[in-house]
């Protein structure tokens, strides 16, 4: 069995390619937060306390648009609803752990670490396999905090024309490259994407993320059932 | 509500969405069918972030004509499916986007 540290390092190695787009994302967040009126301390505090790129960007967007605190908090909750599903997926691998480890790992359960470690956890059954998730999460933590910091310092000197925010959908797209090879997954992707795009302005509280995800899962339930009937 | 309170509450709700399922769900609660459905979670959730970021502009309007992000995303998807490489997907997408907005 590999040592805890070795698995931790493997988590770092595996998640590293996904960290490249996190760099512009963190910088953009730092720059934007100062721009919409948060102090440098609050901006850094947001990255430390919330530690979630999508949540923090949604927070900024709604804050600058003058949304009420209740709407901002519920929207952040809706954007984060995907973590419920991540948690449900990885909890199977963590159920033997002590509560303190569950508390620590929960803080690191972010998109990139989940995507990478979910693959690892499925293939490996060693008892200390969760160190992979800690390694991936900790790597992302370091990158996120340092790029937030540099974003605050750099401020407005990053040209907006570069359109670096486009790196965000590209990152998520890159996480799906294997799923584009499977027919049912393609249907699920299209349904979820269409619901999110067309519901974006109509579904209240930015809940389009959870509504789209549930539509996608519902599609998966129906199609996998149909597939079984024909097998 | 002060900015700090807002940040704190957003942090709490973010953490709870991560922690609640890990703390509540037991191994025995999963059968093969649930596992199969949960394997579709990434395909069900990531498009909800990807598609609006491509098709909807900063002002919240649906943008399909004259939108370099659509072409760049299609190129990135093709490169991604062929190479299965995360880095190649991201860079081909960014490179084609910059090519389209700066050179075309």
Measure in Å the smallest separation between the Cα of A65 and chain B Cα atoms. 11
Express each pLDDT in B44-64 by its tens digit.
Answer: 888 988 999 899 987 888 998
In the predicted structure, residue B3 carries a pLDDT above the cut 70: yes
Check CB contact under 8 Å for B10 and A55.
yes
Measure in Å the smallest separation between the Cα of A138 and chain B Cα atoms. 15
Tokens of A89: 């997926």
To which residue do tokens 């990255």 refer? A47
Check CB contact under 8 Å for B8 and A181.
no
pLDDT tier, B37 (very low <50, low <70, confident <90, very high otherwise): confident
**Domain boundaries of chain B, sorted by first residue:** 3-103
Select the residue of A102, A167, A208 nearest B22 (Cβ to Cβ): A102
- Cα–Cα distance for residue pair B22/A109, rounded to 1 Å: 10
DSSP B27-46: GGG--HHHHHHHTTHHHHHH
**pLDDT given for residue A158 in this prediction:** 67
**pLDDT given for residue B81 in this prediction:** 94
Measure in Å the smallest separation between the Cα of A178 and chain B Cα atoms. 7
Contacts of A35 in chain B (CB under 8 A): none
To which residue do tokens 């703390």 refer? B23
**pLDDT given for residue A144 in this prediction:** 96
- Cα–Cα distance for residue pair A143/A65, rounded to 1 Å: 28
- Residue B101 per-residue DSSP state: I
Select the residue of A169, A194, A216 nearest B43 (Cβ to Cβ): A216
pLDDT tier, B26 (very low <50, low <70, confident <90, very high otherwise): low
Contacts of B71 in chain A (CB under 8 A): none
To which residue do tokens 């002002």 refer? B59
**pLDDT given for residue A210 in this prediction:** 79
**pLDDT given for residue A106 in this prediction:** 93
What is the mean pLDDT of the segment spanning A49-74? Answer: 83
- Cα–Cα distance for residue pair A148/A167, rounded to 1 Å: 16
Interface of A with B in 166-205 (CB under 8 A): 166-181, 184-185, 188-190, 192-197, 200-201
Tokens of A54: 């999508």
The share of chain B scoring above pLDDT 70, in percent, equals: 95
Annotate A15-54 with b (16+ C-beta within 10 A) or e (fewer).
bbbbbbbbbbbbbbbbbbbbeeebeeebbbbbbebbbbbb
In the predicted structure, residue A150 carries a pLDDT above the cut 90: yes
pTM (two decimals): 0.73
Select the residue of B17, B47, B81 nearest A193 (Cβ to Cβ): B47
Task: Tell me if residue A98 falls in helix, strand or coil.
Answer: coil
Q: CA of A48: which chain B residue's CA is closest? A: B11
The answer to whether A207 and A78 have CB atoms below 8 angstroms apart is yes
CA distances from A13 to A16, A45, A116, A138 (A): 5, 27, 10, 12
Compute how many other C-beta atoms are within 10 angstroms of the C-beta atom of residue A174: 27
In the predicted structure, residue A126 carries a pLDDT above the cut 90: no
Q: Pick the residue with more confidence: B5 or A77?
A: B5
**pLDDT given for residue A166 in this prediction:** 84
**pLDDT given for residue B28 in this prediction:** 64
**pLDDT given for residue A125 in this prediction:** 82
Measure in Å the smallest separation between the Cα of A69 and chain B Cα atoms. 7
The answer to whether A26 and A148 have CB atoms below 8 angstroms apart is yes
**pLDDT given for residue A119 in this prediction:** 84
Select the residue of B17, B23, B49 nearest A172 (Cβ to Cβ): B49
- Taking the CA atoms of residue A138, residue A145, residue B42 and residue B56 in that order, the dihedral angle to the nearest 10 degrees is -170
In the predicted structure, residue B27 carries a pLDDT above the cut 70: no
- Cα–Cα distance for residue pair B17/A231, rounded to 1 Å: 37
φ and ψ at residue A71, rounded to 5 degrees: -65, -40
What is the mean pLDDT of the segment spanning A135-141? Answer: 95
Measure in Å the smallest separation between the Cα of A160 and chain B Cα atoms. 12
- Cα–Cα distance for residue pair A19/A146, rounded to 1 Å: 12
């Amino acid at each position: 069995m590999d040592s805890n540290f070795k698995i931790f390092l493997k988590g770092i190695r595996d998640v590293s390619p996904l960290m490249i787009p996190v760099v512009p994302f963190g910088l953009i967040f730092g720059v934007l937060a100062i721009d919409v009126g948060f102090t440098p301390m609050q901006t850094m505090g947001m990255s430390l306390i919330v530690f979630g790129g999508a949540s923090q960007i949604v927070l900024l967007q709604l804050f600058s648009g003058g949304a009420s605190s209740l709407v901002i908090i519920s929207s952040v909750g809706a954007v984060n609803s995907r973590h419920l599903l991540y948690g449900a997926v990885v909890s199977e691998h963590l159920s033997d752990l002590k509560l303190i480890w569950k508390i620590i790992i929960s803080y690191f359960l972010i998109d990139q670490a989940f995507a990478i470690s979910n693959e690892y956890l499925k293939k490996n059954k060693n008892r200390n396999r969760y160190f992979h998730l800690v390694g991936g999460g900790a790597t992302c933590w370091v990158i996120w905090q340092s790029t937030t910091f540099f974003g605050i310092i750099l401020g407005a000197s990053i040209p907006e024309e570069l359109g670096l925010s486009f790196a965000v959908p590209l990152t998520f797209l890159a996480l799906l490259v294997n799923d584009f090879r499977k027919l049912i997954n393609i249907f699920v992707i299209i349904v979820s994407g269409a619901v999110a795009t067309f519901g974006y302005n109509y579904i209240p509280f930015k809940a389009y993320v959870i509504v789209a995800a549930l539509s996608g899962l519902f599609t998966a339930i129906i199609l996998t059932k149909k597939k079984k009937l024909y097998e | 509500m002060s900015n700090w309170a807002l940040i704190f509450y957003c942090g709490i709700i973010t953490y709870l969405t991560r922690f609640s399922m890990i703390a509540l769900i037991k191994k025995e609660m999963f059968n093969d069918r649930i596992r199969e459905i949960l394997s579709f979670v990434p395909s069900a959730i990531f498009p909800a972030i990807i598609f609006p970021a491509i098709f909807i502009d900063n002002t919240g309007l649906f943008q399909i004509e004259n939108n370099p992000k659509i072409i760049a995303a299609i190129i990135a998807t093709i490169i991604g499916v062929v190479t299965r490489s995360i880095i190649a997907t991201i860079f081909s997408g960014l490179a084609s986007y910059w090519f389209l907005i700066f050179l075309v």
